[in-house]
Amino acid sequence: MGAQLLRTSRLPAVRSLASSVGRPSVARRHLATQADASTTPSASDLASRTPPYPKLLRKLHEVRRILPDRPLTLAEKILYSHLESPEESLLTGTNNGADIRGKANLKLKPDRVAMQDASAQMALL
């Protein structure tokens, strides 16, 4: 008789678990809609946040002209595209560009700098 009482007390818990599995979730999906003009950023706002890609590409082409046979990593492409004077920085004291790492003093002119303080707050300048 004790076993039958135990079985009947377990059944409602199993049923409630089974019934909750088939229920739809609370999160709902919505279709994308066109934003209001008041919430869309203006062209001047986007221009201030967009990096100067044409200038960076010109510098990278100049670096490729200076170092034609050297494959560049992504980090080197980003770094060298921010050089103030690529020819001066890459060829001075580097055995004509053969030993750049650890030998060259790069004169960089970055557009923006990410900084982090002691409280781990990030800022773009």
User: What are the tens digits of pLDDT across the range 71-104?
Assistant: 999 999 998 999 998 888 888 888 877 788 888 8
| The pLDDT of residue 69 | 87
Structural domain containing residue 70: 48-116
Q: Is residue 38 part of a domain?
A: no
- Residue tagged 């510098």 (tokens): 59
Neighbours of 76 (CB within 10 A): 16
Q: Is residue 29 part of a domain?
A: no
Six token digits for residue 73: 């990593």
Q: Is residue 58 part of a domain?
A: yes
Q: Is residue 16 part of a domain?
A: no
Identity at 124, one-letter amino acid code: L
Q: Is residue 13 part of a domain?
A: no
In the DSSP assignment, the letter for residue 112 is -
Q: Is residue 37 part of a domain?
A: no
| Cβ–Cβ < 8 Å for 87, 67 | no
What is the number of domains present in the chain?
1
Return d(Cα 73, Cα 55) in angstroms, integer.
19
User: What are the tens digits of pLDDT across the range 29-87?
Assistant: 777 777 666 666 777 777 777 788 899 999 999 999 998 888 999 999 998 999 998 88
pTM over 0.85: no
The residue ranking higher by pLDDT, 118 or 15, is 118
